[in-house]
A and B are shown apart, each in its own frame.
Chain A
Amino acid sequence: MLNWLKLSVLPSLAAAVISLLGKTMRMGTVGGERVDALMRDGQPMIIAFWHGRQLMLPLAYRGKSASILISQSRDGEIIARIMRHFGFGAVRGSSSRGGGQAIRHLLKVARQGHDVIVTPDGPRGPACQVQAGVIYLAKVTGFPIVPLTFACSKKKSSPVGIDSRFLTLA
């Protein structure tokens, strides 16, 4: 029952909360023209942000199609389902489990011209240290890595995962 709630109800609820937060916050963007220029040129990209900044980032995406690298853990399954609500595909794996298979899958996705989204330090960290996989992916695909971050005026952090996951509370 608990698992059913986590996997069926929680993702929809979380996606609704993220959307609602996005609508009620006064959002600003800096540097969007860099991404727009790449998109105008038809250049797919690898979007990278720290694991601890991920909460509101589904709303930042400006492209047409992207897949996100998400761990094979149960939390990863919940995140993958939340991301599906925002139209993202999921490639499952991480440096600690299923990494090789995930990289191969990401390469396939990239070669089809889709953007790829990664947390270069996730999911097990160390926090804010880049794992080699994202750089390897950029080297092999020739796609640029575009760094992205998010800040908000009110926030609380929860001690979940490799670092304090970034939560936004009114």
Chain B
Amino acid sequence: MKGLYVWGEPLWVNADRSMEKISEEGETLARRLNHLTAQAESAIQDNNPVQYFLRHETLEPEA
């Protein structure tokens, strides 16, 4: 049985960010987590998930 951990790109939240804009950062984090998870689920089917992930890694979709 194989397992794959994937750490994504860190997301920094500017201290000046208004509370109104915080939801946008939340959407970015959700997109990032969903994108990583979808890619990890594809990669885990391969015999070498790490190599598969690195070969097929794509940037997260824009909002």
Contact = CB atoms under 8 A, between A and B. Distances in A.
Given A32-B7, A145-B11, A168 B1 contact: yes
Given A146-B8, A152-B4, A139 B41 contact: no
Interface residues of B, number: 40
A26 B7 contact: no
Nearest to B43: A151
A138 interface: yes
Contact of A147 (B7, B19, B26, B53): B7
A132 B26 contact: yes
B2 A148 contact: no
A38 interface: yes
29 contacts: A24-B1, A27-B3, A28-B4, A28-B49, A28-B50, A30-B4, A32-B5, A34-B8, A34-B9, A34-B10, A53-B37, A120-B30, A120-B33, A130-B29, A132-B26, A136-B22, A138-B25, A139-B14, A140-B15, A145-B29, A146-B11, A147-B29, A149-B6, A149-B37, A151-B6, A152-B1, A153-B2, A153-B44, A170-B1
Interface of A: 22, 24-32, 34-35, 38, 45, 48-50, 53, 56-57, 60, 120, 128-132, 134-136, 138-140, 142, 144-154, 168, 170
Interface of B: 1-15, 17, 19, 22-23, 25-27, 29-30, 32-34, 36-37, 40-41, 43-45, 48-50, 53-54, 57
